[in-house]
Chain A
Amino acid sequence: GAGVSQTPSNKVTEKGKYVELRCDPISGHTALYWYRQSLGQGPEFLIYFQGTGAADDSGLPNDRFFAVRPEGSVSTLKIQRTERGDSAVYLCASSLRRTGVFRNEQFFGPGTRLTVL
């Protein structure tokens, strides 16, 4: 079956530009997460959506970062006034939200590699 897809796979932009990164979760998955993975590091949590609402955005580094999920499916991570330090792989993950399960497995997409020149 189709997994989590992310587009574009690579994005090169110039410092100060605006970028949008898209995530298509697995169909039926109501929970959606964004993580950022810097070179040689583990993924770091950015934001979590349950349905259409951002239930936890505590990982967003500053107000240049914003994410939406208007219809509870596709999500877009938006970065304004990009900086060189924003260069990283941005990962999206989705999961079911089943009650009675200890933890619902997160399924990760392949990521978008963002390079800010």
Chain B
Amino acid sequence: QQQVKQSPQSLIVQKGGISIINCAYENTAFDYFPWYQQFPGKGPALLIAIRPDVSEKKEGRFTISFNKSAKQFSLHIMDSQPGDSATYFCAASMNTGFQKLVFGTGTRLLVSP
């Protein structure tokens, strides 16, 4: 059962453009939605996260938009740079006393120079 669906599978964006990655979830008990960035040969690293009581969170060039009624959230990367080329995973977790992350399938982003 795939609880977090992510699209697109891959994305090519020109330098300076906006990268948009979308995720949808099914379980309404989820209450924490992080995005992770993973470079080849490395483990995922937390990029930005949001709680469902806010509709948007911005950190530098990275913004999460959250739509609770639609059970969707998205990552926007403004002014995309070649160094942003990586695989991005959305994830979700619920309050169970610890953070059991449920990940999407990932989006491979390539920012062309």
Contact = CB atoms under 8 A, between A and B. Distances in A.
B7 to A, nearest CB: 13
Categorize the interface residue count of chain B. 20 to 34
Contacts of B105: 40-42
Given A40-B106, A42-B89, A44-B103, A55 B45 contact: no
Interface residues of A, number: 29
B58 interface: no
A59 B44 CA distance: 19
Interface in A19-57: 31, 33, 35, 40-45, 48, 50, 55-56
Contacts of A48: 98, 100
Contacts of B97: 55
Given A43-B44, A93-B43, A111-B43, A103 B103 contact: no
Interface of A: 4, 31, 33, 35, 40-45, 48, 50, 55-56, 59, 91, 93, 95, 97, 102-111
A31 B98 CA distance: 8
B103 A43 contact: yes
Nearest to B91: A42
21 contacts: A33-B99, A35-B101, A40-B105, A41-B106, A42-B6, A42-B89, A42-B105, A42-B106, A43-B44, A45-B101, A45-B102, A50-B98, A56-B98, A91-B43, A91-B44, A103-B34, A103-B49, A104-B99, A107-B45, A108-B44, A110-B41
A111 B44 CA distance: 10
Contacts of B106: 40-42
Given A41-B106, A111-B43, A106 B101 contact: yes
Contacts of A111: 43
A64 to B, nearest CB: 21
